[in-house]
Structure 1
């Protein structure tokens, strides 16, 4: 998505939203660090459930983005492995805006190159993996199992791995599903509707419009095995194809 995709007013509105995000981020960072240090990290849940949504929602409002959450189940299952469709940089904001209970995010290793993300991520117990090395990524995830189970934490992952993938819904990797099996957790699919249409590029520049996070019913993984894993992954991905209203062989590369 390039500058030409925006009207002048929309472009500057989005730019103001981004500036607001970084200003809020800079203002909140020392407060968050102070809370984490004096509580020895125990304020992590407060940060991800309450403070993070407070930080990103003004950015979306200024950018002209209306954010809505629709629950397709009576209640949100927790703890669980939450999964999302990942095709936009805007996903970062909508993930944080959800404020899910006791959630930890699995993020790409490169985020740690930013010292603030490194410090905040480590202090709040986020999980950083090298996505291009699947076996090492799975090994990293396994190392976190004990802490996740002990503290009854939920995990948020993107089965597609990266937003840069062929088609509307890219191929699903095994990592999130293997983790759900190992933890004995259900999988809760979240489908972001509108993110891709509003922001397809590698920046937070967005169009104004509607974004809806659909939180679907939990999927039981108690009878999943390595033998039927691939079939179950395909079934879950088919749900996303249905929600996105696209065919499996329909490839629309992200610009």
Structure 2
């Protein structure tokens, strides 16, 4: 990765035209060929960029550009669309290159698989006396996240989401219809468990006899979330 802080102007030509007047900016040229133009603001979003496949070539400025103070010129061309990003550099303040190696990718904490695993170990969050039959219990249209045994008889199908919406309720409804056909599992009730459940999803679930449970991920991990409690 090459990092260049420079006084520059930038012109984009393609599906639309855009111009960034002369200013001090950070130019990030990545190993995949992409170029990002950043200012000291705007959070993570670049002012302009060119995504791969693209190539960067360094050009000698013409006489007019040299007269305007341009010392170096970059042209980044997209390999498919032909769009171009032209960077006219007036002064290079910093220029460094760094080998970052292969990135392992983002490992997310609190994804649905983590919630499912924690809930499988803490089925008491759903109700007292319940026992786990199986995670990823198979049905003809895919596995339901958790199947629990109810000590009072029957089973409970649990669908786990980070953010529960109407689609999740519909998915659980289909699972319940299929599982209820098995006399060894019936009667089967449903629980829709999520860190956040949208109001429309809660209304639909209640209308279909599905119980909603809001999960506190930090509490399930044994971490005090700091949220105020009544008791």
Q: TM-score range by the shorter chain?
A: under 0.3
The TM-score with structure 1 as length reference comes to 0.22
Higher-strand-fraction structure: 2
Higher-helix-fraction structure: 1
Could you say which structure has the larger radius of gyration? 2
The TM-score with structure 2 as length reference comes to 0.24
